[in-house]
Amino acid sequence: MKKVIIIFLCIIFSKVQVLACAACKEQQPAFLKGITHGPGPDGNFDYIIVVIAIIITLLTLYYSIKWLIKPGENNINHIKQSILKDDISLK
């Protein structure tokens, strides 16, 4: 546990530059200045692609967490029942 805390603190307090450099800040649109590297989006279609990717990512995260917490499989022969034997005996 101490290793995890030490690594976490090192990452938090390290001086690694993760934001855009000065040259990239010049090429970015107003609301992206200082956030990303590179020239920025070329047109409106690029924003549409990013929004769709964000929506897919958030939906995937939601359903992953939902099915991880409550899978909904009640079949007694399901593989999870052999893993969670103690849980079945308590019911």
Q: What digits encode the pLDDT tens for the residues 68-88?
A: 777 777 777 777 667 666 554
Distance CA(19)–CA(15), nearest Å, equals 11
User: Quick check: pTM over 0.85?
Assistant: no
Q: What digits encode the pLDDT tens for the residues 13-46?
A: 765 556 667 777 777 777 777 777 777 778 889 8
28 contacts 35 by C-beta, under 8 angstroms? yes
Q: Where are the domains of the chain?
A: 1-40, 42-91
Return the DSSP state at 73. Answer: -
DSSP labels, 8-66: HHHHHH-----S--HHHHHHS-GGGTTT--SS---SHHHHHHHHHHHHHHHHHHHHHHH
